[in-house]
A and B are shown apart, each in its own frame.
Chain A
Amino acid sequence: MDLVVQALINGLVSGALLAVPAIGFTAMFAVLRFPNFSVSGVATLGAFAGYLAYGAGLQMVGSLAAAFAVAGIVGLFLDRVAHMPLVRQGALPAAIASIASGLVLENVVRLGFGNDMRGYDRPIARDVRWGDIRFNPQQLETMAVAVAIMLAVFAALAFTRIGKAMRASADNPELAALKGIRPQRVAMMASFIGMGLVGMGGMLLGLDSSIDPLTGTRILLSIFAAAVLGGLGSAPGAVLGAFLIGMAEELSVLVVGSPYRSAVGFFAILIVLTARPRGLLGERAF
Protein backbone atom coordinates (compact mmCIF):
# COMPACT_ATOMS: atom_id res chain seq x y z
CA MET A 1 0.00 0.00 0.00
CA ASP A 2 2.78 2.37 0.95
CA LEU A 3 4.48 1.54 -2.31
CA VAL A 4 1.36 2.64 -4.17
CA VAL A 5 1.09 5.86 -2.19
CA GLN A 6 4.77 6.55 -2.77
CA ALA A 7 4.34 5.88 -6.51
CA LEU A 8 1.37 8.23 -6.66
CA ILE A 9 3.35 10.96 -4.92
CA ASN A 10 6.30 10.47 -7.28
CA GLY A 11 3.79 10.55 -10.12
CA LEU A 12 2.42 13.88 -8.95
CA VAL A 13 5.94 15.30 -8.97
CA SER A 14 6.85 14.01 -12.42
CA GLY A 15 3.37 14.94 -13.68
CA ALA A 16 3.93 18.55 -12.61
CA LEU A 17 7.24 18.63 -14.47
CA LEU A 18 5.69 17.01 -17.54
CA ALA A 19 2.80 19.49 -17.55
CA VAL A 20 5.09 22.39 -18.48
CA PRO A 21 6.23 21.07 -21.90
CA ALA A 22 2.79 19.50 -22.47
CA ILE A 23 1.11 22.91 -22.17
CA GLY A 24 3.69 24.29 -24.61
CA PHE A 25 3.08 21.50 -27.11
CA THR A 26 -0.70 21.67 -26.92
CA ALA A 27 -0.76 25.49 -27.17
CA MET A 28 1.35 25.34 -30.32
CA PHE A 29 -0.93 22.68 -31.74
CA ALA A 30 -4.01 24.80 -31.01
CA VAL A 31 -2.66 27.83 -32.87
CA LEU A 32 -0.37 26.37 -35.54
CA ARG A 33 -2.45 23.25 -36.29
CA PHE A 34 0.29 20.67 -36.68
CA PRO A 35 1.94 18.32 -34.19
CA ASN A 36 5.41 19.74 -33.69
CA PHE A 37 7.76 16.81 -33.21
CA SER A 38 10.78 19.07 -32.78
CA VAL A 39 9.78 19.39 -29.11
CA SER A 40 12.19 16.49 -28.53
CA GLY A 41 15.18 18.49 -29.75
CA VAL A 42 13.96 21.75 -28.21
CA ALA A 43 13.53 20.14 -24.78
CA THR A 44 17.10 18.83 -24.99
CA LEU A 45 18.34 22.25 -26.07
CA GLY A 46 16.55 23.91 -23.16
CA ALA A 47 17.99 21.39 -20.74
CA PHE A 48 21.52 22.12 -21.94
CA ALA A 49 21.01 25.90 -22.03
CA GLY A 50 19.78 25.71 -18.44
CA TYR A 51 22.72 23.48 -17.55
CA LEU A 52 25.22 25.99 -18.91
CA ALA A 53 23.51 28.88 -17.16
CA TYR A 54 23.37 26.94 -13.90
CA GLY A 55 27.03 26.04 -14.24
CA ALA A 56 27.84 29.70 -14.86
CA GLY A 57 26.45 30.53 -11.44
CA LEU A 58 22.85 31.51 -12.18
CA GLN A 59 20.27 30.31 -9.71
CA MET A 60 17.41 28.03 -10.67
CA VAL A 61 15.08 30.85 -11.75
CA GLY A 62 17.75 32.51 -13.86
CA SER A 63 18.71 29.20 -15.46
CA LEU A 64 15.07 28.47 -16.25
CA ALA A 65 14.81 31.90 -17.88
CA ALA A 66 17.85 31.04 -20.01
CA ALA A 67 16.30 27.71 -20.99
CA PHE A 68 13.06 29.50 -21.91
CA ALA A 69 14.80 32.17 -23.99
CA VAL A 70 17.13 29.86 -25.92
CA ALA A 71 14.44 27.26 -26.61
CA GLY A 72 11.88 29.93 -27.51
CA ILE A 73 14.14 31.73 -29.97
CA VAL A 74 15.42 28.57 -31.65
CA GLY A 75 11.91 27.08 -31.75
CA LEU A 76 10.51 30.24 -33.29
CA PHE A 77 13.30 30.29 -35.87
CA LEU A 78 12.66 26.66 -36.86
CA ASP A 79 8.91 27.24 -37.10
CA ARG A 80 9.44 30.27 -39.35
CA VAL A 81 12.08 28.70 -41.58
CA ALA A 82 11.22 25.02 -41.73
CA HIS A 83 7.68 24.25 -40.52
CA MET A 84 5.21 27.07 -41.12
CA PRO A 85 5.93 27.42 -44.86
CA LEU A 86 4.88 23.77 -45.18
CA VAL A 87 1.64 24.08 -43.21
CA ARG A 88 -0.02 25.46 -46.35
CA GLN A 89 0.43 21.99 -47.91
CA GLY A 90 -1.10 20.39 -44.84
CA ALA A 91 -0.23 19.39 -41.31
CA LEU A 92 1.75 16.31 -42.31
CA PRO A 93 4.58 17.87 -44.33
CA ALA A 94 5.11 20.31 -41.46
CA ALA A 95 5.09 17.47 -38.93
CA ILE A 96 7.65 15.51 -40.96
CA ALA A 97 9.90 18.55 -41.29
CA SER A 98 9.63 19.04 -37.53
CA ILE A 99 10.97 15.52 -36.96
CA ALA A 100 13.97 16.47 -39.06
CA SER A 101 14.53 19.72 -37.18
CA GLY A 102 14.29 17.92 -33.85
CA LEU A 103 17.01 15.61 -35.14
CA VAL A 104 19.09 18.64 -36.16
CA LEU A 105 18.94 20.07 -32.63
CA GLU A 106 19.71 16.73 -31.02
CA ASN A 107 22.84 16.42 -33.14
CA VAL A 108 23.91 20.02 -32.62
CA VAL A 109 23.88 19.29 -28.89
CA ARG A 110 25.75 16.02 -29.52
CA LEU A 111 28.39 17.89 -31.55
CA GLY A 112 28.98 20.26 -28.66
CA PHE A 113 28.64 17.96 -25.66
CA GLY A 114 29.06 14.36 -26.85
CA ASN A 115 26.87 11.52 -25.62
CA ASP A 116 27.88 11.69 -21.96
CA MET A 117 25.28 12.11 -19.25
CA ARG A 118 25.58 15.28 -17.23
CA GLY A 119 23.88 16.29 -14.02
CA TYR A 120 23.06 19.69 -12.56
CA ASP A 121 25.39 20.30 -9.68
CA ARG A 122 22.78 20.73 -6.95
CA PRO A 123 23.54 20.47 -3.25
CA ILE A 124 22.55 17.09 -1.84
CA ALA A 125 19.62 17.11 0.53
CA ARG A 126 18.35 14.45 2.90
CA ASP A 127 14.94 12.89 2.19
CA VAL A 128 12.12 14.00 4.43
CA ARG A 129 10.33 10.99 5.90
CA TRP A 130 6.74 10.85 6.90
CA GLY A 131 5.97 7.36 8.10
CA ASP A 132 7.18 5.16 5.25
CA ILE A 133 6.65 7.86 2.67
CA ARG A 134 9.68 9.80 1.53
CA PHE A 135 9.94 13.25 -0.01
CA ASN A 136 13.01 14.74 -1.52
CA PRO A 137 13.08 18.48 -0.75
CA GLN A 138 14.70 19.18 -4.09
CA GLN A 139 11.98 17.36 -5.94
CA LEU A 140 9.41 19.37 -4.04
CA GLU A 141 11.25 22.56 -4.95
CA THR A 142 11.29 21.60 -8.64
CA MET A 143 7.62 20.73 -8.43
CA ALA A 144 6.80 24.07 -6.81
CA VAL A 145 8.63 25.87 -9.62
CA ALA A 146 6.69 23.86 -12.21
CA VAL A 147 3.38 24.72 -10.54
CA ALA A 148 4.37 28.40 -10.43
CA ILE A 149 5.15 28.31 -14.16
CA MET A 150 1.76 26.71 -14.86
CA LEU A 151 -0.07 29.35 -12.83
CA ALA A 152 1.80 32.09 -14.67
CA VAL A 153 0.85 30.58 -18.05
CA PHE A 154 -2.81 30.31 -17.12
CA ALA A 155 -2.84 33.87 -15.79
CA ALA A 156 -1.23 35.05 -19.03
CA LEU A 157 -3.77 33.17 -21.15
CA ALA A 158 -6.67 34.54 -19.16
CA PHE A 159 -5.70 38.15 -18.62
CA THR A 160 -3.11 39.44 -21.10
CA ARG A 161 -3.84 40.75 -24.59
CA ILE A 162 -1.58 38.22 -26.23
CA GLY A 163 -3.08 35.39 -24.20
CA LYS A 164 -6.59 36.36 -25.25
CA ALA A 165 -5.45 36.76 -28.86
CA MET A 166 -3.93 33.27 -28.80
CA ARG A 167 -7.11 31.77 -27.40
CA ALA A 168 -9.22 33.59 -29.96
CA SER A 169 -7.02 32.43 -32.85
CA ALA A 170 -7.05 28.88 -31.59
CA ASP A 171 -10.82 28.94 -31.33
CA ASN A 172 -11.59 30.46 -34.71
CA PRO A 173 -8.74 31.84 -36.81
CA GLU A 174 -10.98 33.56 -39.39
CA LEU A 175 -13.10 35.32 -36.79
CA ALA A 176 -9.99 36.36 -34.85
CA ALA A 177 -8.45 37.80 -38.02
CA LEU A 178 -11.68 39.71 -38.75
CA LYS A 179 -11.47 41.23 -35.29
CA GLY A 180 -8.05 42.63 -36.14
CA ILE A 181 -5.91 39.98 -34.46
CA ARG A 182 -2.90 39.50 -36.70
CA PRO A 183 -2.55 35.76 -37.29
CA GLN A 184 1.14 36.05 -38.12
CA ARG A 185 1.96 37.68 -34.82
CA VAL A 186 -0.15 35.24 -32.81
CA ALA A 187 1.54 32.30 -34.57
CA MET A 188 4.97 33.71 -33.71
CA MET A 189 4.02 34.25 -30.08
CA ALA A 190 2.64 30.71 -29.88
CA SER A 191 5.91 29.30 -31.27
CA PHE A 192 8.06 31.36 -28.93
CA ILE A 193 6.08 30.78 -25.75
CA GLY A 194 5.25 27.16 -26.55
CA MET A 195 8.83 26.24 -27.33
CA GLY A 196 10.06 28.27 -24.36
CA LEU A 197 7.84 26.14 -22.11
CA VAL A 198 9.14 23.00 -23.78
CA GLY A 199 12.71 24.16 -23.11
CA MET A 200 11.94 24.84 -19.45
CA GLY A 201 10.28 21.45 -19.25
CA GLY A 202 13.45 19.83 -20.57
CA MET A 203 15.44 21.58 -17.87
CA LEU A 204 12.97 20.73 -15.06
CA LEU A 205 13.02 17.05 -16.01
CA GLY A 206 16.81 17.25 -16.27
CA LEU A 207 17.10 18.73 -12.77
CA ASP A 208 15.36 15.65 -11.49
CA SER A 209 17.71 13.17 -13.20
CA SER A 210 20.47 13.81 -15.74
CA ILE A 211 20.73 15.18 -19.26
CA ASP A 212 22.20 13.96 -22.54
CA PRO A 213 21.33 14.52 -26.23
CA LEU A 214 18.41 12.08 -26.01
CA THR A 215 16.76 13.75 -22.98
CA GLY A 216 14.01 15.26 -25.11
CA THR A 217 13.46 12.17 -27.22
CA ARG A 218 12.85 10.14 -24.08
CA ILE A 219 10.05 12.41 -22.88
CA LEU A 220 8.49 12.98 -26.30
CA LEU A 221 5.90 10.22 -26.00
CA SER A 222 4.94 11.28 -22.48
CA ILE A 223 4.41 14.87 -23.65
CA PHE A 224 2.25 13.69 -26.56
CA ALA A 225 0.34 11.33 -24.33
CA ALA A 226 -0.40 14.08 -21.80
CA ALA A 227 -1.63 16.39 -24.56
CA VAL A 228 -3.72 13.74 -26.35
CA LEU A 229 -5.17 12.43 -23.09
CA GLY A 230 -6.35 15.87 -22.09
CA GLY A 231 -7.52 16.73 -25.60
CA LEU A 232 -5.09 18.13 -28.20
CA GLY A 233 -5.11 21.90 -28.03
CA SER A 234 -6.47 22.18 -24.50
CA ALA A 235 -4.10 23.68 -21.92
CA PRO A 236 -6.05 22.57 -18.83
CA GLY A 237 -6.36 19.19 -20.53
CA ALA A 238 -2.59 19.01 -20.91
CA VAL A 239 -2.13 19.61 -17.19
CA LEU A 240 -4.70 16.96 -16.26
CA GLY A 241 -3.18 14.58 -18.81
CA ALA A 242 0.34 15.21 -17.50
CA PHE A 243 -0.62 14.36 -13.91
CA LEU A 244 -2.44 11.21 -15.04
CA ILE A 245 0.45 10.09 -17.25
CA GLY A 246 2.97 10.87 -14.52
CA MET A 247 1.08 8.76 -11.99
CA ALA A 248 0.38 5.97 -14.48
CA GLU A 249 4.08 5.81 -15.35
CA GLU A 250 5.12 5.52 -11.71
CA LEU A 251 2.45 2.90 -11.00
CA SER A 252 3.50 0.93 -14.08
CA VAL A 253 6.96 0.54 -12.57
CA LEU A 254 5.35 -1.45 -9.74
CA VAL A 255 3.46 -3.68 -12.16
CA VAL A 256 5.65 -4.27 -15.23
CA GLY A 257 9.01 -2.89 -14.14
CA SER A 258 10.86 0.25 -15.11
CA PRO A 259 11.93 -0.70 -18.66
CA TYR A 260 8.35 -0.39 -19.87
CA ARG A 261 7.74 2.96 -18.22
CA SER A 262 7.97 4.79 -21.52
CA ALA A 263 5.46 2.45 -23.14
CA VAL A 264 2.74 3.81 -20.83
CA GLY A 265 2.36 6.92 -22.97
CA PHE A 266 1.81 4.89 -26.11
CA PHE A 267 -0.86 2.67 -24.59
CA ALA A 268 -2.55 5.66 -22.96
CA ILE A 269 -2.75 7.29 -26.40
CA LEU A 270 -4.16 4.13 -27.99
CA ILE A 271 -6.81 3.70 -25.30
CA VAL A 272 -7.86 7.35 -25.34
CA LEU A 273 -8.07 7.46 -29.13
CA THR A 274 -10.19 4.32 -29.19
CA ALA A 275 -12.53 5.20 -26.34
CA ARG A 276 -12.66 8.98 -26.30
CA PRO A 277 -10.85 10.44 -29.33
CA ARG A 278 -11.29 14.06 -28.34
CA GLY A 279 -9.55 13.56 -25.03
CA LEU A 280 -10.83 14.03 -21.50
CA LEU A 281 -11.49 17.74 -21.75
CA GLY A 282 -12.17 17.86 -25.49
CA GLU A 283 -10.18 19.59 -28.20
CA ARG A 284 -9.79 23.34 -28.17
CA ALA A 285 -10.89 24.00 -24.63
CA PHE A 286 -7.77 26.19 -24.51
Chain B
Amino acid sequence: MLNYLLFIATIGSIYGLLALGLNLIWGGTGMVNLGLAGFFAVGAYASALVTTTGHWPIPAGWALALVAGGAAGLVVTLSTTRLREDYLAIVTLGFAEVVRLVASNEIWLTKGTDGISGIPRPWKAELGPNFNAAYLVLLLVALAVVFGLMRRIDRSPYGRALRAIREDAQVAQVAGKPVLRFKAQAFALSAAIAGLAGAFYGHFTSYIAPDLFLPLITVYIFLAVASGGIGSPIGALVGAYLLMTLLESARFLVEFIPYVTAVQRAALKELLIAVALILVLRLMPRGLLPERIPRAPHPQTGGTK
Protein backbone atom coordinates (compact mmCIF):
# COMPACT_ATOMS: atom_id res chain seq x y z
CA MET B 1 0.00 0.00 0.00
CA LEU B 2 2.76 2.40 0.96
CA ASN B 3 4.61 1.56 -2.22
CA TYR B 4 1.47 2.19 -4.23
CA LEU B 5 1.04 5.62 -2.64
CA LEU B 6 4.70 6.44 -3.24
CA PHE B 7 4.31 5.38 -6.86
CA ILE B 8 1.23 7.58 -7.33
CA ALA B 9 2.95 10.52 -5.63
CA THR B 10 6.00 10.12 -7.85
CA ILE B 11 4.04 9.98 -11.10
CA GLY B 12 1.91 12.87 -9.83
CA SER B 13 5.06 14.91 -9.19
CA ILE B 14 6.38 14.14 -12.68
CA TYR B 15 3.05 15.37 -14.05
CA GLY B 16 3.55 18.36 -11.75
CA LEU B 17 6.81 19.20 -13.52
CA LEU B 18 5.10 18.92 -16.90
CA ALA B 19 2.22 21.06 -15.68
CA LEU B 20 4.58 23.78 -14.41
CA GLY B 21 6.27 23.79 -17.80
CA LEU B 22 3.00 23.99 -19.71
CA ASN B 23 1.73 26.71 -17.39
CA LEU B 24 4.78 28.86 -18.12
CA ILE B 25 3.87 29.11 -21.80
CA TRP B 26 0.10 28.67 -21.73
CA GLY B 27 -0.52 30.86 -18.71
CA GLY B 28 2.51 33.04 -19.31
CA THR B 29 2.52 33.84 -23.00
CA GLY B 30 -0.68 32.26 -24.29
CA MET B 31 1.14 29.71 -26.44
CA VAL B 32 0.26 26.04 -26.26
CA ASN B 33 2.35 22.96 -26.67
CA LEU B 34 0.28 20.08 -27.97
CA GLY B 35 3.45 18.05 -28.31
CA LEU B 36 4.23 17.96 -24.63
CA ALA B 37 4.42 14.17 -24.78
CA GLY B 38 7.10 14.53 -27.47
CA PHE B 39 9.36 16.76 -25.37
CA PHE B 40 8.75 14.45 -22.42
CA ALA B 41 9.93 11.58 -24.62
CA VAL B 42 12.98 13.49 -25.90
CA GLY B 43 14.19 14.00 -22.34
CA ALA B 44 13.45 10.42 -21.33
CA TYR B 45 15.28 8.97 -24.33
CA ALA B 46 18.22 11.38 -24.12
CA SER B 47 18.94 10.47 -20.52
CA ALA B 48 18.18 6.78 -20.94
CA LEU B 49 20.51 6.43 -23.93
CA VAL B 50 23.53 8.15 -22.44
CA THR B 51 23.22 6.41 -19.09
CA THR B 52 22.76 2.91 -20.54
CA THR B 53 24.83 2.61 -23.71
CA GLY B 54 26.92 5.71 -22.97
CA HIS B 55 27.56 4.87 -19.27
CA TRP B 56 27.26 8.53 -18.30
CA PRO B 57 26.53 9.28 -14.64
CA ILE B 58 22.82 9.81 -14.00
CA PRO B 59 23.02 13.53 -13.09
CA ALA B 60 24.73 14.14 -16.45
CA GLY B 61 21.83 12.33 -18.10
CA TRP B 62 19.38 14.66 -16.34
CA ALA B 63 21.36 17.69 -17.45
CA LEU B 64 21.36 16.39 -21.01
CA ALA B 65 17.59 15.84 -20.83
CA LEU B 66 17.17 19.52 -19.91
CA VAL B 67 19.38 20.63 -22.78
CA ALA B 68 17.81 18.24 -25.31
CA GLY B 69 14.27 19.29 -24.37
CA GLY B 70 15.19 22.96 -24.59
CA ALA B 71 16.97 22.54 -27.92
CA ALA B 72 14.00 20.67 -29.38
CA GLY B 73 11.76 23.46 -28.12
CA LEU B 74 13.91 26.08 -29.87
CA VAL B 75 13.84 24.17 -33.16
CA VAL B 76 10.06 23.92 -33.08
CA THR B 77 9.53 27.57 -32.18
CA LEU B 78 12.04 29.04 -34.59
CA SER B 79 9.79 28.54 -37.59
CA THR B 80 6.54 29.26 -35.83
CA THR B 81 6.88 32.02 -33.22
CA ARG B 82 6.45 34.63 -35.91
CA LEU B 83 3.09 33.11 -36.72
CA ARG B 84 -0.23 32.85 -35.00
CA GLU B 85 -0.66 30.53 -32.05
CA ASP B 86 -2.88 28.08 -33.90
CA TYR B 87 0.00 27.19 -36.24
CA LEU B 88 2.19 26.46 -33.23
CA ALA B 89 -0.54 24.13 -31.97
CA ILE B 90 -0.49 22.17 -35.24
CA VAL B 91 3.31 22.05 -35.43
CA THR B 92 3.79 20.86 -31.85
CA LEU B 93 1.20 18.13 -32.35
CA GLY B 94 3.16 16.94 -35.38
CA PHE B 95 6.43 17.13 -33.48
CA ALA B 96 5.24 14.63 -30.87
CA GLU B 97 4.15 12.28 -33.65
CA VAL B 98 7.55 12.46 -35.34
CA VAL B 99 9.34 11.81 -32.05
CA ARG B 100 7.26 8.67 -31.61
CA LEU B 101 7.98 7.58 -35.19
CA VAL B 102 11.71 8.01 -34.70
CA ALA B 103 11.62 6.20 -31.36
CA SER B 104 9.70 3.30 -32.92
CA ASN B 105 11.76 2.94 -36.10
CA GLU B 106 15.37 3.85 -35.39
CA ILE B 107 15.92 0.49 -33.79
CA TRP B 108 19.74 0.75 -33.81
CA LEU B 109 19.42 3.68 -31.42
CA THR B 110 16.20 3.29 -29.46
CA LYS B 111 15.51 -0.46 -29.71
CA GLY B 112 12.23 0.44 -31.42
CA THR B 113 8.92 -0.60 -29.91
CA ASP B 114 10.70 -3.01 -27.55
CA GLY B 115 11.82 0.04 -25.63
CA ILE B 116 14.88 0.57 -23.49
CA SER B 117 15.02 -1.42 -20.29
CA GLY B 118 17.54 -1.46 -17.49
CA ILE B 119 17.77 2.31 -17.21
CA PRO B 120 19.84 2.80 -14.05
CA ARG B 121 18.03 3.92 -10.91
CA PRO B 122 20.13 6.31 -8.82
CA TRP B 123 21.70 4.67 -5.74
CA LYS B 124 19.36 1.73 -6.12
CA ALA B 125 21.89 -0.72 -4.62
CA GLU B 126 22.57 1.40 -1.54
CA LEU B 127 18.94 2.32 -0.93
CA GLY B 128 17.37 -1.07 -1.49
CA PRO B 129 13.74 -1.02 -0.37
CA ASN B 130 13.92 2.69 0.48
CA PHE B 131 14.51 3.61 -3.15
CA ASN B 132 10.94 4.72 -3.89
CA ALA B 133 10.76 7.07 -0.92
CA ALA B 134 14.22 8.53 -1.57
CA TYR B 135 13.45 9.04 -5.25
CA LEU B 136 10.24 10.86 -4.37
CA VAL B 137 12.18 13.17 -2.04
CA LEU B 138 14.70 13.88 -4.79
CA LEU B 139 11.91 14.55 -7.24
CA LEU B 140 10.13 16.84 -4.78
CA VAL B 141 13.34 18.83 -4.36
CA ALA B 142 13.56 19.25 -8.14
CA LEU B 143 9.89 20.16 -8.24
CA ALA B 144 10.41 22.75 -5.50
CA VAL B 145 13.33 24.29 -7.40
CA VAL B 146 11.33 24.49 -10.63
CA PHE B 147 8.32 25.80 -8.72
CA GLY B 148 10.45 28.49 -7.07
CA LEU B 149 11.82 29.48 -10.46
CA MET B 150 8.33 29.67 -11.93
CA ARG B 151 7.08 31.78 -9.03
CA ARG B 152 10.03 34.07 -9.44
CA ILE B 153 9.42 34.42 -13.17
CA ASP B 154 5.73 34.93 -12.49
CA ARG B 155 6.41 37.91 -10.25
CA SER B 156 9.37 39.38 -12.08
CA PRO B 157 9.29 42.10 -14.72
CA TYR B 158 10.05 39.29 -17.18
CA GLY B 159 6.88 37.48 -16.15
CA ARG B 160 4.88 40.68 -16.51
CA ALA B 161 6.31 41.12 -20.01
CA LEU B 162 5.27 37.56 -20.85
CA ARG B 163 1.73 38.21 -19.65
CA ALA B 164 1.66 41.43 -21.64
CA ILE B 165 2.51 39.34 -24.70
CA ARG B 166 -0.32 36.98 -23.83
CA GLU B 167 -2.83 39.80 -23.53
CA ASP B 168 -1.72 41.68 -26.62
CA ALA B 169 1.54 40.92 -28.38
CA GLN B 170 1.29 44.04 -30.50
CA VAL B 171 1.06 46.36 -27.50
CA ALA B 172 3.98 44.55 -25.88
CA GLN B 173 5.99 45.01 -29.06
CA VAL B 174 5.15 48.70 -29.19
CA ALA B 175 6.22 49.00 -25.54
CA GLY B 176 9.64 47.82 -26.64
CA LYS B 177 9.51 44.22 -25.44
CA PRO B 178 11.37 41.76 -27.68
CA VAL B 179 8.27 39.64 -28.18
CA LEU B 180 9.76 36.95 -30.41
CA ARG B 181 12.79 36.40 -28.22
CA PHE B 182 10.71 36.20 -25.05
CA LYS B 183 8.30 33.75 -26.62
CA ALA B 184 11.11 31.52 -27.88
CA GLN B 185 12.85 31.65 -24.49
CA ALA B 186 9.69 30.77 -22.59
CA PHE B 187 8.90 27.92 -24.95
CA ALA B 188 12.41 26.51 -24.79
CA LEU B 189 12.45 26.69 -20.98
CA SER B 190 9.08 24.98 -20.85
CA ALA B 191 10.27 22.25 -23.22
CA ALA B 192 13.43 21.82 -21.13
CA ILE B 193 11.31 21.24 -18.01
CA ALA B 194 9.28 18.64 -19.93
CA GLY B 195 12.55 16.98 -20.93
CA LEU B 196 13.70 16.88 -17.32
CA ALA B 197 10.37 15.34 -16.33
CA GLY B 198 10.97 12.66 -18.95
CA ALA B 199 14.38 11.84 -17.51
CA PHE B 200 12.92 11.56 -14.01
CA TYR B 201 10.29 9.22 -15.39
CA GLY B 202 12.77 6.95 -17.15
CA HIS B 203 15.12 6.60 -14.19
CA PHE B 204 12.17 5.84 -11.93
CA THR B 205 10.44 3.09 -13.92
CA SER B 206 13.75 1.92 -15.45
CA TYR B 207 11.94 1.24 -18.74
CA ILE B 208 10.74 3.46 -21.59
CA ALA B 209 9.06 2.65 -24.91
CA PRO B 210 7.37 4.74 -27.61
CA ASP B 211 3.92 3.65 -26.42
CA LEU B 212 4.45 5.34 -23.06
CA PHE B 213 4.51 8.76 -24.73
CA LEU B 214 1.10 8.83 -26.38
CA PRO B 215 -0.66 12.17 -27.03
CA LEU B 216 -2.95 11.20 -24.16
CA ILE B 217 -0.29 12.44 -21.72
CA THR B 218 -0.55 15.87 -23.30
CA VAL B 219 -4.30 15.82 -22.68
CA TYR B 220 -3.65 14.84 -19.05
CA ILE B 221 -1.39 17.82 -18.51
CA PHE B 222 -3.80 20.24 -20.15
CA LEU B 223 -6.46 18.94 -17.79
CA ALA B 224 -4.11 19.46 -14.84
CA VAL B 225 -3.28 23.06 -15.78
CA ALA B 226 -6.83 23.99 -16.75
CA SER B 227 -8.35 22.61 -13.57
CA GLY B 228 -5.71 24.15 -11.34
CA GLY B 229 -5.94 27.57 -12.92
CA ILE B 230 -4.17 28.72 -16.04
CA GLY B 231 -1.46 31.22 -15.20
CA SER B 232 -0.90 30.18 -11.60
CA PRO B 233 2.09 27.94 -10.80
CA ILE B 234 0.55 26.68 -7.54
CA GLY B 235 -2.61 25.90 -9.48
CA ALA B 236 -0.60 23.82 -11.96
CA LEU B 237 0.85 21.77 -9.10
CA VAL B 238 -2.48 21.27 -7.36
CA GLY B 239 -3.99 20.38 -10.73
CA ALA B 240 -1.34 17.71 -11.33
CA TYR B 241 -2.10 15.93 -8.06
CA LEU B 242 -5.83 16.30 -8.66
CA LEU B 243 -5.33 14.74 -12.07
CA MET B 244 -3.49 11.82 -10.53
CA THR B 245 -6.34 11.33 -8.04
CA LEU B 246 -8.86 11.41 -10.86
CA LEU B 247 -6.84 8.96 -12.97
CA GLU B 248 -6.51 6.48 -10.14
CA SER B 249 -10.15 6.77 -9.06
CA ALA B 250 -11.19 6.27 -12.68
CA ARG B 251 -9.06 3.15 -12.78
CA PHE B 252 -10.79 1.70 -9.73
CA LEU B 253 -14.19 2.86 -10.88
CA VAL B 254 -14.06 1.13 -14.25
CA GLU B 255 -13.00 -2.09 -12.50
CA PHE B 256 -16.46 -2.25 -11.00
CA ILE B 257 -18.37 -2.00 -14.25
CA PRO B 258 -19.55 -5.49 -15.13
CA TYR B 259 -19.55 -7.13 -18.56
CA VAL B 260 -16.89 -4.96 -20.18
CA THR B 261 -13.63 -6.06 -21.74
CA ALA B 262 -10.22 -4.64 -20.86
CA VAL B 263 -10.22 -2.62 -24.09
CA GLN B 264 -13.57 -1.14 -23.20
CA ARG B 265 -12.35 -0.30 -19.71
CA ALA B 266 -9.38 1.58 -21.13
CA ALA B 267 -11.68 3.34 -23.58
CA LEU B 268 -14.03 4.37 -20.78
CA LYS B 269 -11.13 5.78 -18.80
CA GLU B 270 -9.88 7.87 -21.72
CA LEU B 271 -13.44 8.98 -22.41
CA LEU B 272 -13.81 10.17 -18.84
CA ILE B 273 -10.58 12.20 -18.96
CA ALA B 274 -11.54 13.81 -22.27
CA VAL B 275 -15.02 14.72 -21.01
CA ALA B 276 -13.47 16.11 -17.82
CA LEU B 277 -11.22 18.39 -19.87
CA ILE B 278 -14.17 19.72 -21.89
CA LEU B 279 -16.22 20.27 -18.73
CA VAL B 280 -13.38 22.10 -16.97
CA LEU B 281 -12.79 24.38 -19.96
CA ARG B 282 -16.51 25.10 -20.31
CA LEU B 283 -17.60 25.41 -16.69
CA MET B 284 -14.49 26.54 -14.79
CA PRO B 285 -12.34 28.36 -17.31
CA ARG B 286 -10.39 30.08 -14.54
CA GLY B 287 -9.69 26.90 -12.62
CA LEU B 288 -9.67 26.21 -8.88
CA LEU B 289 -6.86 28.60 -8.02
CA PRO B 290 -7.21 31.38 -10.56
CA GLU B 291 -4.32 33.57 -11.52
CA ARG B 292 -4.21 36.70 -9.39
CA ILE B 293 -3.36 39.78 -11.34
CA PRO B 294 -1.96 42.43 -9.01
CA ARG B 295 -3.41 45.89 -9.28
CA ALA B 296 -1.32 48.43 -11.05
CA PRO B 297 0.33 50.81 -8.58
CA HIS B 298 -1.31 54.19 -8.31
CA PRO B 299 0.80 56.79 -10.11
CA GLN B 300 0.34 59.60 -7.52
CA THR B 301 1.03 57.67 -4.36
CA GLY B 302 4.02 55.97 -5.90
CA GLY B 303 3.17 52.49 -4.69
CA THR B 304 5.42 49.53 -5.25
CA LYS B 305 7.78 49.49 -8.14
What's the nearest-Cβ distance from chain B to residue A27, in Å? 16
Cβ of A282 under 8 Å from chain B? no
26 A–B contacts from the bound complex (CB under 8 Å): A35-B86, A35-B89, A35-B90, A82-B278, A86-B281, A90-B30, A95-B89, A96-B281, A97-B278, A99-B222, A100-B278, A100-B281, A104-B271, A110-B266, A110-B267, A114-B264, A221-B97, A224-B90, A228-B90, A259-B101, A262-B97, A269-B94, A270-B91, A270-B94, A273-B79, A274-B79
**Residue-wise interface mask of A (17-50) relative to B, using a CB-CB cutoff of 8 A (1 in contact, 0 not):** 0000000000000000011010000000000000
- The residues in B between 228 and 263 inclusive whose CB is less than 8 angstroms from any CB of A are 261, 263
Cβ of B82 under 8 Å from chain A? yes
What is the number of residues of chain A that contact chain B, defined by CB distance less than 8 Å? 43
Given contacts A110-B264, A224-B93, A259-B105, 9 further A-B contacts (CB under 8 A): A37-B89, A97-B281, A103-B273, A106-B270, A111-B264, A114-B264, A262-B97, A263-B97, A269-B91
Contact B275 A104 (CB under 8 A): yes
Partner of A107, one of B78, B271, B281, B282: B271
Contact A108 B271 (CB under 8 A): yes
Cβ of B104 under 8 Å from chain A? yes
- Tell me the complex Cα distance, A95–B91, Å: 13
Cβ of A135 under 8 Å from chain B? no
Cβ of B39 under 8 Å from chain A? no
Cβ of A173 under 8 Å from chain B? no
Cβ of A55 under 8 Å from chain B? no
Given A100-B275, A269-B94, A273-B79, does the pair A107, B270 have CB atoms closer than 8 Å? yes
Q: Is the interface of A mostly helix, strand, loop or mixed?
A: helix
Q: Identify which of A34, A110, A111, A228 gathers the most chain B CB atoms within 10 Å of its CB.
A: A111
- Tell me the complex Cα distance, A35–B78, Å: 21
Given A86-B281, A111-B267, does the pair A262, B274 have CB atoms closer than 8 Å? no
Contacts of B200 in A (CB 8 A): none
- Tell me the complex Cα distance, A103–B271, Å: 7
- The residues in A between 83 and 103 inclusive whose CB is less than 8 angstroms from any CB of B are 85-86, 89-93, 95-97, 99-101, 103
Chain B residue with the shortest CB-CB distance to A102: B274
Cβ of B115 under 8 Å from chain A? no
Partner of B270, one of A103, A266, A277: A103
- Tell me the complex Cα distance, A273–B83, Å: 8
Contact A96 B277 (CB under 8 A): yes
- Tell me the complex Cα distance, A224–B93, Å: 10
Contact A273 B34 (CB under 8 A): no
Contact A101 B89 (CB under 8 A): no
Cβ of A115 under 8 Å from chain B? yes
**Residue-wise interface mask of A (216-254) relative to B, using a CB-CB cutoff of 8 A (1 in contact, 0 not):** 000011001100100010000000000000000000000
